[in-house]
Amino acid sequence: MQVRSWARDRVPALTGLLTAVALALVFGSVLGVVPTPPRAPTAVLEAIPAVNAVVSLAAIVAIVTGWRAIRRGEVRRHRAAMLTAFGLFALFLTLYLYRVSILGPSEFPGPETVYTFVYLPFLAIHILLAIVCVPLLFYVILLGTTRPVRELYDTNHARVGKIAASLWLVSFTMGITVFLMLYVVPW
């Protein structure tokens, strides 16, 4: 039995499994449960937030490109753009978790009132959207990669994909704003 055929019949279960594994890695890294990897030089660790901001911007471009492509019926371009966006998301997450597992979360450098009433609620929404996106992304990617294009019209791929892409765009945009609040704004 081919892996693609096997996966095709198990999209919801695989979505749940991949989501559980991904979120376990995220929370395990943030909480210090996952073993700490070898430490990179300080300059590399300090560069990760800026690199991730650029990766996020590239992911936004890829998502918008994929969205525009599918609206024009360019399925191959849509697929390539969305898989690129997912790869960029994975790169972002790997770099972020690597840095957090070594240095811990970044401290907000601004005033306490901004931290309490602006930064924390903003960060909470960003994190919530990122978490909600994970199962949606796995679901649409599994549907899109295990079925021929003509069969996708009989699935929830387009409907869930619109929701996933919208939330993903907002989450990436908010992530860039978090970067600006942490590292660029001169508080």
Q: Which pLDDT belongs to residue 36?
A: 85
> Looking at the domain assignment, is residue 71 inside a domain?
yes
> Looking at the domain assignment, is residue 1 inside a domain?
no
Q: How many domains does the chain have?
A: 1
> Looking at the domain assignment, is residue 4 inside a domain?
no
Q: Which pLDDT belongs to residue 4?
A: 82
Q: In which residue are the tokens 């989450």 written?
A: 171
Question: What average pLDDT does the segment 137-163 reach?
Answer: 96
> Looking at the domain assignment, is residue 166 inside a domain?
yes
pLDDT tier for residue 92 given thresholds of 50, 70 and 90: very high
Of 135, 125, 141, 130, residue with least CA distance to 168: 130
- Predicted confidence (pLDDT) per residue in 156-175, tens digit: 999 999 999 999 999 999 99
> Looking at the domain assignment, is residue 39 inside a domain?
yes
Question: What average pLDDT does the segment 117-129 reach?
Answer: 97
Q: Which pLDDT belongs to residue 1?
A: 56
> Looking at the domain assignment, is residue 123 inside a domain?
yes
Question: What average pLDDT does the segment 43-57 reach?
Answer: 98
What CATH number does residue 75 fall under? 1.20.120.80
Question: What average pLDDT does the segment 122-135 reach?
Answer: 96
User: Which SS3 state, helix, strand or coil, does residue 187 take?
Assistant: coil
pTM over 0.75: yes
Of 120, 103, 99, residue with least CA distance to 53: 99
> Looking at the domain assignment, is residue 3 inside a domain?
no
Burial 17-30 (b: 16+ CB within 10 A, else e): ebbeebeeebeebb
> Looking at the domain assignment, is residue 47 inside a domain?
yes
- Span of 1-15, 90-104, 111-125, 164-178 with lowest mean pLDDT: 1-15
Any alpha helices (H) in 31-148, and if so which ranges? Answer: 42-71, 75-103, 112-114, 120-146
Q: Which pLDDT belongs to residue 171?
A: 96
Domain extent, residue 104, equals 9-184
